Every structure is written in structure tokens, then in C-alpha cells.
Amino acid sequence: MKLHEYQAKELFKRFGIPVPDGRVARSGDEAVEAARELNGPPWVVKAQVHAGGRGKGGGVKVVKSIQEVKKAAAAVLGTPLVTKQTGPEGRKVHQVLVEEGVQIDREFYLAVVIDRAQAMPVMIFSQAGGMDIEEVAASTPELVLKQFVDPGTGWMPYQARTLAYGVDPLPGSDPLKDLTALMGKLYTAFVSLDCSLAEINPLVITRQGKVMAVDAKINIDDNALTRQKELRALDDPKEKDSLDVKAEEYNLNYIRLGGNIGAMVNGAGLAMATMDVIKLAGAEPANFLDVGGGASEEMVTRGLEIILEDKNVKAILINIFGGILRCDVLARGVLAAAQKTAIKVPLIVRLEGTNVEEGRKILKESKLKFMVAKDMAEAAAMVTEQVKK
Ligand code: GDP
Ligand code: MN
């Protein structure tokens, strides 16, 4: 689960990580009101979307008058912001963060993530912070410093010094102390909030010598949300694909993909195998959809509805191995969805397993138009032929 910058900064404050004073605004007038309550000029108006690269995409404006605050907010609110991370369609901006402007002396990069290869968290620090850390890592990897954290001992003060003393030229002793302390606080936040990522880019030293998180990014591990109940409320469905939100609501394992073959399958393993055979046949799946081994008729209906709502889908493959999910239940679910939304694309069905005869009979006796495949390979070939036409 991704958080907005303003939400991440609220959380950082709780862990003692300094951030600029700011307010969220949803209109130009609210932005003006916010700026009046904050120190300035300058002020910074920042689009709140779940994507980085906002600075280069025009989503971060440093302005010097109240009039410009209003203009900057109005310019991004309600329109899609396109950055390197959003894709060409961009992300619609629903809110901006108005902050007191900070006079930046130096910009660093600081983050904690899980290193899967080492199976432990790693603190990443670079003196080449700012906008393009990927670029820095590619061209000057020696500027990216790392400290792995043994979860048993936790973050050790010497590790903070190892990172901070790798900076050239060395900051003054006060900012250096604040910098090393902040690393410990970020690690505590990372662990306490069950983050998969906690990132500050840039972490700055101001001209006044203060260390401060000018940007903030937090991703929470979805698997921890059962125990991070308070954080669940920070989820913003507006940032998600509407079909993903619907799938979540019905407990369906759904991931939208780039192809044009909608696939409905029961069981994650069979769903992955189905994607493989579709690719092998020369086509691309539009989604991964596992309705679940023990799906109900309603879940089957919802799953098919989600596929039917996807405008990219040019043909549908239903591949079910009836076990706990019986084939007759599947058939009824399919018919219920077809009654609500006419299926206008070719439908290929491959059914096997429990109550398969009954399932086939239900489908055959309905008005639904569909083709039957005898096995998976044939199903994939048939559905691919439909989109190649
Ligand atoms: P991102 O591009 O989405 O990562 O957005 P950031 O929050 O990192 O902002 C982009 C850049 O804007 C930063 O790297 C800073 O250089 C600049 N910036 C952000 N806030 C301030 C500020 O208060 N004062 C100044 N001078 N620059 C800022
Ligand atoms: Mn940033």
C-alpha cells in the first residue's frame, strides 16, 4: 500500500524526523488559506499522487507570492500529472501539499528497503540526492552507500557513522549529528510501520544547518495491514485502477496486464499456467484473475464482470478445474454475469473436474454463445485465433 507524501510526512513527525510545515489543499482557495498559515515566501506547492518524478513533471512549484500559490495549485488540481513513473496517461491530481519553502544547501538520498537477496533491510544513503537516484546508481555507483541491517540487532549507531562519514565534503558537526540520529529514526519508523519502503529524497541540510526531509515516500507491506489498522485508513482508492479496487472489494486475486485476452481461472497456479499457455500460443493476457479455489457463484460473477469492464479485452478464456469450486457453480456465475452485461467478445470455456457434466449442461442450455475447448493447449490456441483475426 502506497501513501501520499503528506501522509508519510505526518508519520515521519511522530518518529521525530523533521519535515517542513505544510497543509493539504483541494482547491486554489484552500491553497491560499494554507499558505497564509505558513511561513513564506517562498512556498512550495506539491501535487499529491502516488508517483515520483513530480519535480521534473511540473508537479512541484516553488513560488514567491500568494497569487502564485493559487495559480500553481489551480494549474495541477483536477488535471493529470505526467511523470516518468505515471505512464503517458498521467495521474489525476486531487490534492496538493502547500509547504513553507526551504532554503536548500545540500541534497541527500536516504532510504530503507528490504533487500531480498540478503533477506534483510538495507539503509541506502547518497550524497547525490535530489531527483535522479536511479541515474546516480547507474553512472556513479560509488556514490551510493549501503548498510545492511541485521534484524536481530537492529540499526547500530556505528552504521550511521559509517554512512555519514562517507560524505565528501563532510557537513559540520551539528548537521552530521542530526543526520546520523535521523537514520536511526527512519529505521525505527520502517520497522514499526511494517514498511516495504521508507524513502527521503531529498533529505536536505538547509542553509541554516537544519537536517530535514523535504520529500517523503512510504510503502506499507500489504501483508501487515491486519496489524496496522490505523494505516489502512490512509489508503486512497482514487490512486488505484478502478478494476483493482473492485477486485479487492470481492476478495479476488486480480492483476491487470497489458494484453487483450481476459482470463478467468480458479487457483493461482492454474492462473499462472494459463497465462503461460496464452503466451506460448502467441497472445498476451489482459489480466491475472484467480477467483479462488473455493469461489462462490457471486465471486465468479464479479470476476467476469471485471473482465467485461476492461476495454482492452478482445476475447475471454475461462479455464476452470472444478475441485472445491464445482463446475455447476461456475456455470451459474458465468450466466449471472452474462445477464447483466452482454458478452460481445468471443468466449472460450474449458471445464474439468467436479460436476463438469452439470456445468456443461447449464451452459449449453443457456442462450450464451461460447466455444468449448477440450484441454488447455486447445483453449489457448482458440482464444489466440480469435484475437489474431
Ligand atoms: P519528486 O520529484 O516527486 O521526487 O518531488 P520532490 O518532493 O523530491 O521535489 C523535487 C525537487 O524540488 C527537490 O529535489 C528539490 O530540489 C525541490 N524542492 C522541493 N521542496 C523545496 C523547497 O522547499 N525549497 C526548494 N528550494 N526546493 C524544493
Ligand atoms: Mn523526491
Q: Whose CA is nearest to atom 8 of ligand 1?
A: 215
Instruction: Give the tens place of pLDDT for each residue, 255-274.
Output: 999 999 999 999 999 999 99
Atom of ligand 1 nearest to the CA of 102: 23
CA 120 to chain centre: 22
d(CA 131, CA 292): 42
- In ligand 1, the atom with minimum distance to the C-alpha of 51 is 3
- Give residue 190's pLDDT: 98
Per-residue b or e along 101-123, where b marks 16 or more CB atoms closer than 10 Å to that residue's CB: bbeeebbbbbbbbeeeeeeebeb
Question: What backbone phi and psi angles, to 5 degrees, belong to 172?
Answer: -60, 165
**pLDDT for res 341:** 86
Q: What b/e readout covers 210-248, taking b as 16+ CB neighbours within 10 angstroms? A: ebbbbbbbbbbeeeeeeebeebeebbbeebbeebeebbe
The C-alpha cell that represents 291 in the structure block: 477467483
Task: Determine whether 6 is an active site residue.
Answer: no
The answer to whether 187 is a known catalytic residue is no
> What is the residue type of 173?
S
3-state DSSP of the chain: CECCHHHHHHHHHHCCCCCCCEEEECCHHHHHHHHHHCCCCCEEEEECCCCCCCCCCCCEEEECCHHHHHHHHHHHECCEECCCCCCCCCEEECCEEEEECCCEEEEEEEEEEEECCCCEEEEEEECCCCCCHHHHHHHCHHHEEEEECCCCCCCCHHHHHHHHCCCCCCCCHHHHHHHHHHHHHHHHHHHHCCEEEEEEEEEEEECCCCEEECCCEEEECHHHCCCCHHHHCCCCHHHCCHHHHHHHHCCCEEEECCCCEEEEECCHHHHHHHHHHHHHCCCCECEEEECCCCCCHHHHHHHHHHHHHCCCCCEEEEEEEECCCCHHHHHHHHHHHHHHCCCCCCEEEEEEECCHHHHHHHHHHCCCCCEECCCHHHHHHHHHHHHHC
The amino acid sitting at 354 is T
The predicted structure's pLDDT at residue 273: 96
| 231 CB within 6 A, ligand 1 | no
**Closest residue to atom 9 of ligand 1, CA basis:** 55
Which residue, 161, 169, 176, is CA-closest to 211?
Answer: 176
Residues of the chain with pLDDT under 50: none
What radius of gyration, in Å, describes the C-alpha atoms of the chain? 26
> Is residue 6 a contact partner of residue 225, using CB atoms and an 8 Å limit?
no
Assess whether the C-beta atom of 62 lies below 6 angstroms from ligand 1.
yes
pLDDT of residue 340: 87
Dist. CA 201 → ligand 2 center (Å): 4
Phi, psi of 118 (to 5 degrees): -85, -10
Report yes or no: 109 and 101 within 8 Å, Cβ to Cβ.
no
Residue from 297, 322, 321, 318 nearest 307 by CA: 318
- Report the pLDDT value the prediction gives residue 296, as an integer from 0 to 100: 86
The ligand minimizing its distance to the Cα of 5 is 1
Q: Is the CB of 175 under 6 A from ligand 1?
A: no
Residue nearest to ligand 1 atom 16, measured at CA: 130
Q: Is 131 in the pocket of ligand 1 (CB under 6 A)?
A: yes
Ligand with the closest atom to the CA of 85 = 1
Model confidence, pTM: 0.82
Catalytic residue among 5, 30, 199, 297, which?
199
Per-residue pLDDT at 275: 97
Say which of 5, 30, 109, 297 is annotated catalytic.
109
Grid cell digits, residue 83 = 511523470
